Amino acid sequence: MTRTVSGARVLITGAASGMGRLYAERAVAEGARAVILWDRDAAALTRTAARLSEGATGSTAVSPYVVDIGDLGAIAQTAQRVRTEIGNPDIVINNAGIVRGAFFWEHDNGDDTRPTMQINALAPMYIAREFLPGMMSTNGRESRIVNIASAAGLLSNPRMSVYAASKAALIGWSDSLRLELVQQGFSRVKVTTVSPSYISTGMFDGARGPLLTPILTPEYVVDRVWRAMLAGTPQVTMPWTVGLSTVLRGILPLPVWDLVAGRVFGVYNTMDDFVGRR
């Protein structure tokens, strides 16, 4: 699996639009055996599935499933359908996510905090738990789990408290899972944890990139993630300033880091004009 996903079953969440659709297009182009699309937007999912099917060869099946991954029961039921109708995925890309750009006290517990944690942090765990046993039991076949986190999970930022918490949880779980698989002799199942800065998908409309940190294009991110997934690269951070910032955050006293991040790099004001996807 170091070169293409040809012949593999690929499952993508949040697949009806944005980066999820780009991952699906890549899987179709490389001749995946099955491209399994999960999304809660039924209309957009139907359009995307039709478009992908038009470009697919006879060896690739495009299979859409309407599912709200904020609902544990819906994940379990849909996962069982996938296993019955298609088989266990070889690749799972946990791409779906949501953001609420507001001060913590402006978050509603039910409408904001709970769904952010459910979709961004818990759903990838639930989904991986559904399909991981099948990946571990397949003799000789390499498998992949890709978890799309965020630089916000590595660095604190105003107006992102709950989002940052959800992505920090995702990062901690994802890399721990990687270590567990290696430790217990399942190294053919490789986990890639991705932590990008802002991406121009519409999800972060209005946000500004910090100093030396441009807004990333979806195409660039998908290409980097795809190549890392194929190679089994454990962690991907982008752009390079994210890695630099985490190093500085680790070695500088907190008051000094706050000064550097806030006044020099402008990290703490990147969400001042956030509007998000409308």
Q: Which residues are catalytic?
A: 163
Going by C-alpha positions, the residue among 50, 39, 32, 1 that lies closest to residue 17 is 39
Buried b (16+ CB within 10 A) or exposed e, 236-274: bbbbebbeebeebbeeeeeeebeeebeeebebbbbbeeb
Reading the block at residue 66, the tokens are: 């309407």
Query: What is the spatial distance between Cα 173 and Cα 155, in angstroms, rounded to a whole number?
Result: 17
| Residue (of 129, 132, 268) closest to 210 by Cα position | 268
Whose structure tokens read 């982008």?
A: 238
Question: How many angstroms separate the CA atoms of 93 and 145, rounded?
Answer: 6
Give start and end residues of each alpha helix (H) in the chain. 18-29, 42-55, 72-85, 114-117, 123-137, 161-183, 218-231, 240-251, 254-259
Given the structure tokens 């991110």, which residue do they identify? Answer: 221
The neighbouring-strand residues paired with 34 are 9, 61
